[in-house]
Structure 1
Amino acid sequence: MEYNGINLTWLGHDSFKIRNGKTIYIDPYQLSSDAEKADIIFITHEHFDHCSVEDLKLISTPETIIIAPPDCQNKMSKIDCKDIMTVEPGQTFRIGEIEVTTVPAYNTNKKFHPKENNWLGYVINIGGTRIYHAGDTDKIPEMNELKDIDIALLPVSGTYVMTASEAAEAANVINPKLAIPMHYNSIVGSEADAQKFKELCDCEVKILEEG
């Protein structure tokens, strides 16, 4: 998908690739063996389907920068990369011309992603286009503080994260220009969850084909 000169590809589950001159991955998981090498990788939390060492080794080079919560650091210690930045919710920083703000991601009505773990979503600002990857989360109060989001990538499967209806409520709070469902058709969730999300959202929704 092309948006404001940025190419966004859903790689399945919570995994995305963003290309804008740099190649950026978020939560790379079960990538093809010929996957493009990464300039920057964002990891939301340490679960195997988000912080996948096998996939990180596949796409990392000595010039790759990885951004992740502190509890991912041990898993990534043998990855050949330029730097591993450990971050917590509420930080804003720059990587070259890209501005990044970390956002909390946690469960409110289940135990899989505790708030105290300080796991993450990210707002990635690329040339003025603001992309929010929510991570594995429920609808949380911090979403009310998100402003001027162009693209919101939101989990919809239920079980470990928001249900489709809860994700639609979140989208209506965030009010992005475009919402894209994720976290389905892999470990849990189905195309029906993505379709339900689309039907319930007030904003524009695009369901991406896995690329």
Structure 2
Amino acid sequence: MTRRAPRAVGSTRPAPPTNGVNDVTPAILASVRAASCIILGPRRRNVELTWYGMSCFRMVERGLATVVTDPFDSSVGLPAPKLKADIVTVSHDAPGHNNLAAVKGERRVIQGPGEYEIGGVFVTGIAMNAPAKGNGARPNTLYVFDFDGLTVVHLGDLAFVPSQPQIEDLGTVDVALVPVGGGSALNPAQAAEVISLIEPKLVVPMHYKSGKETLKLGPASRFLSEMGINSLEPIDVLKVTKGALSEETQVVLLERAES
């Protein structure tokens, strides 16, 4: 099967080859677009996503619980965030993902698989552990958030390409928060393959080198190149409504925020 390389919207240069993604990758990669705008629709309420570095996001929809994912501490080389939330999710127990002290308020902490409904937000934790190495598999929990019908999946520190049955457990995904910088999680080629399996409407890269991180992470540019995107300007906040989502997968790059 011959696979066309995806291109970035507005780019006049040919897209680079997408080396590293095998030929059985579904054709969704051929329709990936770069999104450089805020995606709003006619629906008055929208989910706002802000990225603080590593795998830490704050997600807000008016009238629903506020969510913070994977708060980190300063040992990763970035200033620890200072946030408030109703829900905090932790994908696995490591300093780059489990700094609960960074989040104030009467928050509910979710640290593993299960189904939860808190403040109008439905959260499903799905165990997806890395293949066994040494004495056992490294635990990792993926989280699917349902904000009034708009679904966001946070892949945590996913480090391998899941099987098709594992992908189906996620259901329909509108927004995928995907590690792309390698290290302990997906590298750019693996991230591209996972995206092709999930088929989300929007992809937001995370867990890559954006500053002085001490972890051995690659920059977002390597992932963008893997996806055939020449360049992409980051935005401060992603505001998205379900009715405005494109049928084609778009990539949105977020600027790292200071809390």
Which of the five TM-score ranges fits, normalised by the shorter chain? Answer: 0.7 to 0.9
Q: Is the 8 A contact 2:70 2:89 kept in 1?
A: yes
CA deviation after TM superposition for structure 1 residue 208, in Å: 1.2
Partner amino acid, structure 2, of 1:175: E
Query: With CA pairs under 8 Å and 6+ residues apart, which has the higher RCO, 1 or 2?
Result: 2
1:25 equivalenced with 2:68 (yes/no): yes
Could you tell me which residue of structure 2 aligns to residue 163 of structure 1? 187
Q: Which moved more, 1:125-134 or 1:95-104?
A: 95-104
Q: Is the 8 A contact 2:71 2:102 kept in 1?
A: no
CA deviation after TM superposition for structure 1 residue 119, in Å: 2.5
Decide which structure has greater strand share. Answer: 1
Identity %: 28
CA deviation after TM superposition for structure 1 residue 158, in Å: 1.8
Q: Say which of 139, 155, 159 aligns to 2:161.
A: 139
Q: Say which of 96, 101, 122 aligns to 2:124.
A: 101
Deviations 1:127-179 (A, max 9, x none): 11100000111211212432210000111112311111111111111000111
Largest Rg, 1 or 2: 2
Q: 1:206 to 1:111 in 2, by over 3 A?
A: farther
Query: 1:34 and 1:132 mapped to 2: Cα distance?
Result: 21
Q: Say which of 228, 231, 256 aligns to 1:199.
A: 228
Partner amino acid, structure 2, of 1:35: K
Partner amino acid, structure 1, of 2:47: I
Q: Is the 8 A contact 1:172 1:203 kept in 2?
A: no
- Count of aligned pairs between the two proteins: 184
Could you tell me which residue of structure 2 aligns to residue 72 of structure 1? none
Query: 1:34 and 1:205 mapped to 2: Cα distance?
Result: 25
Name the SS for the 1:166 alignment partner.
helix
Partner amino acid, structure 2, of 1:199: G
Decide which structure has greater helix share. Answer: 1
CA deviation after TM superposition for structure 1 residue 104, in Å: 2.4
TM-score normalised according to structure 1 size:
0.76
Deviations 1:32-74 (A, max 9, x none): 678332211111100111012xxx223223x211111xxxxxx
Displaced runs of 4 or more, over 6 A? none
Query: 1:92 and 1:51 mapped to 2: Cα distance?
Result: 20
Query: 1:151 and 1:28 mapped to 2: Cα distance?
Result: 20
1:126 equivalenced with 2:147 (yes/no): yes
CA deviation after TM superposition for structure 1 residue 26, in Å: 0.0
Q: Is the 8 A contact 1:198 1:205 kept in 2?
A: no
Name the SS for the 2:95 alignment partner.
coil
Query: 1:199 and 1:207 mapped to 2: Cα distance?
Result: 14
Could you tell me which residue of structure 2 aligns to residue 209 of structure 1? 255
Return 5+ residue gaps in structure 1 as ranges. 69-86
Name the SS for the 1:106 alignment partner.
coil
- 5 Å-filtered alignment, 1:1-211, equals 5-21=46-62, 22-30=65-73, 35-52=82-99, 56-61=100-105, 63-68=106-111, 87-88=112-113, 91-108=114-131, 111=133, 115=137, 118-137=139-158, 138-141=160-163, 142-185=166-209, 186=213, 187=215, 188-199=217-228, 203-211=249-257
CA deviation after TM superposition for structure 1 residue 98, in Å: 1.1
Deviations 1:71-122 (A, max 9, x none): xxxxxxxxxxxxxxxx33xx322113111111223324x849x54x542010
Return 5+ residue gaps in structure 2 as ranges. 1-37, 230-247
